[in-house]
Amino acid sequence: MATIPLGQYLFARIHQLGITQILGVPGDFNMTLLDHIFAVDGLGWVGCCNELNAAYAADGYGRVTGLPGVVVTTYGVGELSAINGVAGAFAEHVPLLHIVGTPGRPQIEQRMWMHHTIPANADFESPDHEVYARMSAPVRCASAFLRDPKTLVEDIDRVLFTIWRKSLPGYVFVPLDIVNWPVPVAALDSKLELKIVNEDEKLEDALVDEIEVALLGARRPALLVDLLARRHRSRELVMELVSVTGYPSFSTDLAKGFVDEDHPAFVGQYNGVLSRPGVREALEDSDVVLNIGPIISDNNTGAFTRNVPEEKLIVLHPSYVSIRGTVHRGLHFLPILAKLVARLKATDPVRLAAANTRAPGTIAVGLPPVVESPADISISWFYPTIGAKFLRANDIVFADSGTAQYAINDATFPKNVNFTTQLYYSSIGFALPAALGACVGELDARKSLGFAPSRVILFEGDGSSMMTIQELTTITRHGFNPVIFLINNSGYTIERAIHGPHALYNDISPNWKWTKLFETFGADPDRYVCTTVRTKAELETLIADPAFQDSPKARFVEVIMDKLDIPWRLSKQVAITADKTNKLFADYKKAHGE
C-alpha cells in the first residue's frame, strides 16, 4: 500500500479545501511538521511576527474566504500566545484550524520536564503535558490529539468537517514522533463531504411550511440579517430572498454590508436605539421579522435596546430554528433557508406582493448627525466621505475596535463589500493582522473560488495599531498592498468616551513617526506609499487620485483627528450602558442586602 507521512496528509487535506497558504510561527516542536507544507504542490507559508498576530491573521482569512484560516504554533508558549485570537474567532463564528506541534508521545506519557512545560501544581510535581490542550477546550468546536496510528486520518477529517459545519475554530495536536507516521495515500482520494444536511427532512419541510404561512400572512414583514448569516456562507441565498420578496431588509452593525446597501429593499442598520432615525421604527413596526443568524450582544443590540417581541420573530440560526417562541434545536438554518427561497421563488408574485404593504423605498430614513468643521477632518465627516468617494464594490473592509467600528456605520457601502469589525469580542489590535490574513485570503479567493480582485482596506486607531504594528513587515515582505487609514487621535479615544477623557491611562506614547514605520521595518521602498492628511481638502485630493486608488503598493495614510472626537453612536451607547449598569448594580445590592 502506498503511503505518505502524516504531516503531508494533513496539509494535503487542508489544501483540498482550496487553502493555499498556512500562517504561523516556527518553534522546535513544530518545525518537522512545517517541512511537510512544502511537499504539497501549491501550498505556501506566511510567517508572522508572533503567534497572537498569526491567530488574528487566520481569523481574518476565515472571514474573507469562508474557509478555515490555518495557524501553526509550537506547544505551550506558542499556543497560549495564540489563544486570544482563537477565542475571538470562536466568539464571532469564524472557521479556524489551530495546529499545535507538541512533544512526542513518550515524553508526554512519562511527564518529562521538557521546556515550555509548567509544573503540575504548586508542589512542583512533574508536568501534565496536556494542560494546555485543556485550556483551549472552551474555544473550539472539535479537536484531535493525534496519538493513535489507527485513527489519524479519521481524526483529521472529523475536525475539518466540524469546523466547516459549525464555522468555529478547531484544534489538531501533532506529537513530534507521529509527524512522519505513514498513512495511506489513497485516503486523499476520498472527498471531504462538506454539504450541510439536517437529519430530519420532514421536520425541515414542516418548518418551511410554517415560515411561509407566517410571511405570506403578514402585512408588514421584514428581514433582519445578522453576522452568522455571513459566517455560514449564505450570502447568495439571502440576496435571493431579499430580491424575490422585496420585503424591507435590515442588517445589524455586525452584518453591515452583507445585504447590498444599494438594493431597493434595503432600509438600514438596526441596532436598537442606536439606529438612524426611521430605521428602528420601521423594523419594530413589522408584524413578522425573519431574523437570520443573530448575535444578541450588547454592542449589536444598541446596549440591549433591541425590541422585537417573540410573537413577531422567526429565527434561523446555525444551531436552531425558532418560530414565535417555539424552538427546534439541532437544526442548521442553511438547508431550511434554501428550501424557503425556492418555495418563495415559485410563489405567485401577486400573492407575494400582497404580503408586503410597504413598497421598497417608501420608508424614510434620517441622516446621521455631522459635526461640522471648516477644514479639519472630523470623524462624522470622514467615514461618510470615504463611503461615498473611495469605497467600491467588492472591497474588503476592516474597522478595528475603537471609534472606527462605531463611526464607519455612517458610511454607505457599495455592493458586495465584505466588512469585518470585531464588535462583539472587541480585542484591540485585532484588525491589522486580520487585514494581513485578508490579503492572503483574497489571493486564495481569486485562485480557488473565482472571486474578482478586491482591495483590502483597514481603518485603525493609533492605540490599536501599537498592539500589532509589526505585521506591516509581513505585509510588505509578501508584496501585499492594503490601504491602511491610521486614525491618529492621540490615544484610546474609545476608552476616553467610556471613562477618564483626560486620564493618563488613556494616553499612549506620543509622537510616533507613523509614516516612517515601513522604512524602520526595512521594507522595500518600492512596495509602499505613506502620507499624512490633516484637512478635508488633503484627504479628498488623495482619495480622488487614481494612482492612489489602484496602486500595486501598500498605502499608509495617517489621518489626524481630535482626541475627543467621539462618534455619536459610541456616546449614546456609553450613556445607555452606564444607566443600565447602574440600575443592575443597584438592584443586585438591594437583592443581597448590601
447-478 tens-digit pLDDT: 655 566 789 999 999 999 999 999 999 999 99
Q: What is the DSSP letter of 168?
A: S
Whether 421 shows a pLDDT value over 70: the answer reads yes
Q: Say how many Å lie between the first and final Cα of the chain, rounded.
A: 73
All CATH 3.40.50.970 domain ranges of the chain, comma separated, are 3-189, 379-574
Beta bridge partners of 505: none
Query: What span, in angstroms and rounded, lies between the C-alpha atoms of 169 and 171?
Result: 7
- Do 485 and 557 meet the contact criterion of CB atoms below 8 Å apart? yes
How does pLDDT run across 169-195, given as a tens digit for each residue? 999 999 999 999 999 999 999 998 899
For residue 515, the SS3 value is helix
The pTM (predicted TM-score) of the whole model is 0.96
What pLDDT score was predicted for residue 353? 86
What pLDDT score was predicted for residue 369? 79
Per-residue pLDDT, averaged over 49-75, amounts to: 97
Per-residue pLDDT, averaged over 338-355, amounts to: 92
Residue 570: name the closest of 495, 468, 478 by CA.
495
All CATH 3.40.50.1220 domain ranges of the chain, comma separated, are 201-354
The type of residue at 278 is G
What does pLDDT average to over the chain? 95
Query: What span, in angstroms and rounded, lies between the C-alpha atoms of 145 and 217?
Result: 52
C-alpha dist (Å) from residue 148 to 92, 144, 178, 183, 456: 32, 10, 9, 12, 42
- Do 422 and 88 meet the contact criterion of CB atoms below 8 Å apart? yes
- Do 461 and 404 meet the contact criterion of CB atoms below 8 Å apart? yes
- Location of C-alpha cell 405570506: 216
What pLDDT score was predicted for residue 368? 82
What pLDDT score was predicted for residue 447? 64
What pLDDT score was predicted for residue 94? 98
Whether 222 shows a pLDDT value over 60: the answer reads yes
For residue 174, the SS3 value is strand
How does pLDDT run across 496-530, given as a tens digit for each residue? 999 999 999 999 998 899 999 999 999 999 999 99
Whether 199 shows a pLDDT value over 70: the answer reads yes
Whether 270 shows a pLDDT value over 70: the answer reads yes
What pLDDT score was predicted for residue 451? 60
CATH topology for the 3-189 domain: Rossmann fold (3.40.50)
DSSP 568-579: HHHHHHHHHHHH
How does pLDDT run across 361-408, given as a tens digit for each residue? 889 898 887 777 788 999 999 999 999 999 999 999 999 999 999 999
Angle 537-542-544 from CA coordinates, rounded to 5°: 95
Whether 93 shows a pLDDT value over 90: the answer reads yes
The total of other beta-carbon atoms located within 10 Å of residue 373's CB is: 14
DSSP 368-382: PP----SSBPPHHHH
DSSP 202-265: HHHHHHHHHHHHHHHT-SSEEEEE-HHHHHTT-HHHHHHHHHHH---EEE-STTTTSS-TTSTT
Residue 313: name the closest of 284, 342, 351 by CA.
284
Q: Note the maximum CA span of the chain.
A: 76
The total of other beta-carbon atoms located within 10 Å of residue 328's CB is: 16
CATH topology for the 379-574 domain: Rossmann fold (3.40.50)
Angle 145-147-153 from CA coordinates, rounded to 5°: 80
Whether 555 shows a pLDDT value over 70: the answer reads yes
Of 120 and 315, more confident? 315
Assign domain 201-354 one CATH number from 3.30.300.30, 3.40.50.1220, 3.40.50.2300, 3.40.50.720.
3.40.50.1220
